[in-house]
Structure 1
Amino acid sequence: MEISDQNSDIIYLGEDELPINDVCINDVSFHFECGGNDIPGTSQQQGNGTINVELLGEQFYDGGDEEDEEDDVIPWDHTPDVVLAKIASYLTQWDKSEMSLVCKNWNRVILAAPRLWRHRIIRLRGNFKDRSHVNYANILGRFLSRLHLSSGLRSLRHARKFQRTFTAIFAELYRQRVQLKELSLTELKFHVHFRGVPGGRARQGIIRSARRFLGRQAKLRYLDLNYGGMTCEEGTALLQAASEKSSRVLKALDIEELFRPGAPVHQSSEFAETLPRFVNLVQLTMNYSALSDELLTNLARESNGLLEFFHVRCIRGENLNHIVGTPAWRAFSGRMSKCQLEFSLIGVIRLNDIQRVLTPQMPLQILSVVGHNDDSFQPDRTLKYISRYLNNTVEKVVIDVTPCYKLYGRGFIDIIRDSPRLRHLEVRGRIRWHVIHDVFEFLDVNFVRRGVRPPLTTLRMLVTSTPIEPYEEEAFVIEEYRPVFSRFDLMYELVIEPMFFPLPLEFREPRRVHN
């Protein structure tokens, strides 16, 4: 029998009434299944004046003597250690430190829980605030398994202070024989913050401390050295130290912009021999300036073929004068059969540069071209080049170069028609409605009418328009074919956005073509 009463002092059980004193019941349902005069959930039978009702882990007593409410409050110093450690696990690093200062018991529990101090994010600025990080390494450094250290320097005056703090942290970790699983040393920017005589001495101390610490790491699985700005010798020395004991356990390596811009790293045979020492790499991220035929050949010959993701970033201003030949890519793809190759061209928009970087018949699967257009970008010819030489492997293409003055034409149709594995295409530019119509007509005739799902599952067109260009026809094309492709759950989208950049002086509005 379920009975719910609000603001009442009596609970009705059948035909009997049992008074309960000093209990306020608000929107609470009690369920009793009783037989005879016995009341389940009570310590005695009806009439003895004692009721024990258990609700949500709490007990309410009535009858006999009244107890003081303060006796029911459990003091915090009696909280189990497991509960305190669990509460502290949800707090930030600063809050955990503050919590450990409440009392001796909390200090003992929190500082003795290793899982609370496994991960540490340090940003050194070369001032007095960095002392807290040194104290952390002294007291809790033995618990570390993941360390992410970055630079927040704003002036060359603090380079020596930064170096002393950096050296003190890693010297303490080295003394305690700490074995990390993840290590990130990012944004050091040696070419900016460590110049001149004082900066040169500071960078030598940093490299020396990092090399000594990396040379002892035998469990390192992830190493991130982004934005180091080092010379070829300095960066190679760090990789050599890391390969002494972690060559077979390291799974992910990120050396994007490890070397300073313009450094001819691809000419270094020492670097080409050092990187393949990590034989069990699964993820690798690097710059095109460090890529060479010798490096690909060594990777294919010495690695175990476990590489699954290879990301190459090509940034404007880097050394792009070298060409990685097709034989080296064939040897690499033959060994790394499961590898997904991705190229990101950032600011590299000239067709000559794109043709130099993207070698014909290379196993490219993901390509992104982004940057600001200085009226040298040729979108249609770029798509034609991809559809002619990279069509057998490419799966995703993203082109976002603004402002785009030239039009997409036959190249937009060719890459969809000639790339059987293309599943994602995203372009930003100026496209005529008859080109979009031809693309949808090709998909409709070759796939939809046959009841086959098109391989191109995501098509996003961000069409830039000028005040003199109405785009009603393009919108009508999308609406015409939308019901046809909706049953395949395809992500086809047309976004028309205004062009905020002025057109070049030599621009002439092309004559509109109507079918």
Structure 2
Amino acid sequence: MTSYFDVTLVLLSFNMSSKQSWDNLPDIAIIEVYSYLPDNDRLSMSLACKNWRRLFETPVLWRCRKVIFKGLVADEIARHEITFLRLFGRQLHKLSIGFTGLSFRTCRDLALAADTYLSHLMKRTDVHLDSISFEELNLERFWPFVLSRNKLITALCRLLRKQRTLKTINMISTRLTLIEGCRVLEALGRYSAGTTVEIIFLENVFRTSVIPYENIRYVNALNRFQAIRFLHINYKYLREDILRNLAKTLESKFEQLNIIIEGRLVGEVISSKAWKALHGKCPNLRIGIYIYTTALENDPLPTLVDGMKIQACYIFSWSDLSSRKEELGKILRHVGGTYASSLGTWDASGVLAMALGDNKLQQLVEEFQEIRATELVKSFRKTTIKQLQTKLELDLTVLKKTRNGFEVSV
């Protein structure tokens, strides 16, 4: 695939003041320039000459579309996007939908505009989407108006039921109620998408207070998917019978399970036996865990049992960790000790390095040097990195200066 820098080199090789140079500019360079422009600028550029007009219709330029409905102009945006579908709908593969400017005054207009657009999209037989993404809708926080929200969910469900080529669905941070979330999952799983969807992002798809696995409707909806390769989901949305059903349905097709551990952990802990059974049925499965430091308020260690074959561990924080040093050290030591034989990537982020200090993290790196590729040393001082390199005989192939220190690839 041609990179931005490849095209830049081509452009720099031409004398831009020469008409002949512009005439001989490769199509791929013009297409790359088009790809960085908004619709209006693309249209203006297409009026320059017949060749640029021809390249304006290159299918790759119209594969992805981000539709953001904005407050008082939502209806105008819907009409604009419907026109886009008439012109380039057959080239559209990836669709992203979002909303801004939501208030009591605009919520009805936003819902009506979205319904108009989605209804038109649903009726078009020349549009074959393989990816749908919702731009962090967070309906719990931004859309408390029940009637208009219900209209939006109904329109989304109608669209999803009609999808026959969908491969990816991204619902991160949509924050739906239990009923809304089950409706959306059923709209996917009960119909054609249930046999085609391979990649699902369900992180924070429900409101913070919802414990979905207690509802049989949610369990049944999740069990309808037959082709999942990649699942990104909160730990609190899982339980043992869900894992058993996924293993029974997916078997060797199931390749990646990303688990989010954050906030208040409630409900049952999935046993080591259940994880071992999952790995037995799904031999190709790789597990990654994402631990947010909000989980430190409740001890997350009981969820990290030895039956999980974790290949990647990521730890994130957006707050001061000075009061959490003991808990962080305990988690890092537990993860490193329990999963040293399988762990391939360990990213503790620079924030943790600053919270624990070089000495503490250096001890951990020395203790768990079996890890094949670690970013645990991110933000170490250069002298500390050199000490590790000498002591552990590490092959530090990349040493890049970052804002907080040094980033190392092993």
Q: TM-score, normalised by structure 2?
A: 0.76
2:119 to 171, 177, 189: 171
Cα distance change, pair 295–114 in 1 and its aligned pair in 2 (3 A): same
Distance in 2 (alpha carbons) for counterparts of 1:404 and 1:299: 39
1:247 to 191, 194, 212: 194
2:113 maps to 1:205: no
2:80 maps to 1:132: yes
Distance in 1 (alpha carbons) for counterparts of 2:276 and 2:366: 25
* Greater RCO (CA < 8 Å, at least 6 residues apart): 2
For 1:459-498, list aligned pairs within 5 A.
459-460=377-378, 462=380, 475=383, 478=386, 482=390, 485=393, 488-489=395-396
1:273 to 207, 210, 220: 220
Residue of structure 2 equivalent to 1:392:
341
2:98 maps to 1:180: no
Distance in 2 (alpha carbons) for counterparts of 1:183 and 1:365: 28
For 1:57-206, list aligned pairs within 5 A.
87=30, 90-91=33-34, 92=37, 93-99=39-45, 114-128=59-73, 129-130=76-77, 131-177=79-125, 178-195=127-144, 199-206=145-152
1:151-172 deviations in Å (ceiling 9; x for gaps): 2234342211111111111111
The 8 Å contact of residues 229 and 258 in structure 1, kept in 2 or not, is answered as yes
Name the amino acid aligned to 2:69.
L
1:446-476 deviations in Å (ceiling 9; x for gaps): xxxxxxxxxxxxx54636xxxxxxxxxx948
Distance in 2 (alpha carbons) for counterparts of 1:495 and 1:219: 42
- Structure 2: tracts of 5 or more residues without a match: 1-18, 406-410
1:103-138 deviations in Å (ceiling 9; x for gaps): 9x8999678765543321111113225242243235
What SS is found at the alignment partner of 1:226? coil
Residue of structure 1 equivalent to 2:6:
none
1:144-203 deviations in Å (ceiling 9; x for gaps): 2221112223434221111111111111112223321111122222112221xxx21111
1:66-105 deviations in Å (ceiling 9; x for gaps): xxxxxxx99xxxx9xxx999956742333233456789x8
Cα distance change, pair 492–383 in 1 and its aligned pair in 2 (3 A): farther
The 8 Å contact of residues 320 and 357 in structure 1, kept in 2 or not, is answered as no
2:242 to 279, 290, 295: 295
Distance in 2 (alpha carbons) for counterparts of 1:247 and 1:383: 38
Give the Å deviation of 1:245. 0.1
Larger Rg over CA atoms: 1
Cα distance change, pair 327–176 in 1 and its aligned pair in 2 (3 A): same
The 8 Å contact of residues 236 and 270 in structure 1, kept in 2 or not, is answered as yes
The 8 Å contact of residues 353 and 378 in structure 2, kept in 1 or not, is answered as no
Residue of structure 1 equivalent to 2:299:
353
The 8 Å contact of residues 308 and 338 in structure 1, kept in 2 or not, is answered as yes
The 8 Å contact of residues 85 and 113 in structure 1, kept in 2 or not, is answered as no
The 8 Å contact of residues 307 and 339 in structure 1, kept in 2 or not, is answered as yes
Give the Å deviation of 1:328. 1.7
The 8 Å contact of residues 326 and 361 in structure 1, kept in 2 or not, is answered as yes
Name the amino acid aligned to 2:374.
L
Q: Give the share of equivalent positions with the same residue, in percent.
A: 18
The 8 Å contact of residues 111 and 140 in structure 1, kept in 2 or not, is answered as no
Cα distance change, pair 97–289 in 1 and its aligned pair in 2 (3 A): farther
Name the amino acid aligned to 1:478.
K
What SS is found at the alignment partner of 1:305? helix
Cα distance change, pair 86–368 in 1 and its aligned pair in 2 (3 A): closer
Cα distance change, pair 173–108 in 1 and its aligned pair in 2 (3 A): farther
Give the Å deviation of 1:217. 0.7
Cα distance change, pair 304–347 in 1 and its aligned pair in 2 (3 A): same
Give the Å deviation of 1:334. 1.2
1:336-363 deviations in Å (ceiling 9; x for gaps): 2222211111124638522133123321
Cα distance change, pair 206–101 in 1 and its aligned pair in 2 (3 A): farther
1:205-256 deviations in Å (ceiling 9; x for gaps): 1111111111111111111112211012211211211121022222211122
Name the amino acid aligned to 2:71.
G
Q: TM-score, normalised by structure 1?
A: 0.62
Distance in 2 (alpha carbons) for counterparts of 1:125 and 1:209: 18
Distance in 2 (alpha carbons) for counterparts of 1:233 and 1:184: 20
Cα distance change, pair 338–126 in 1 and its aligned pair in 2 (3 A): same
2:278 maps to 1:332: yes
Root mean square deviation, CA, Å = 3.9
Give the Å deviation of 1:375. 1.4
Name the amino acid aligned to 1:263.
V
Cα distance change, pair 137–385 in 1 and its aligned pair in 2 (3 A): same
Distance in 2 (alpha carbons) for counterparts of 1:460 and 1:113: 42
The 8 Å contact of residues 261 and 300 in structure 2, kept in 1 or not, is answered as no
Cα distance change, pair 361–102 in 1 and its aligned pair in 2 (3 A): same
Cα distance change, pair 266–102 in 1 and its aligned pair in 2 (3 A): same
Comparing both structures, which one devotes a greater share of its residues to helix?
A: 2
2:272 maps to 1:323: no
1:26-58 deviations in Å (ceiling 9; x for gaps): xxxxxxxxxxxxxxxxxxxxxxxxxxxxxxxxx
The 8 Å contact of residues 163 and 206 in structure 1, kept in 2 or not, is answered as yes
2:174 maps to 1:228: yes
Cα distance change, pair 407–179 in 1 and its aligned pair in 2 (3 A): closer
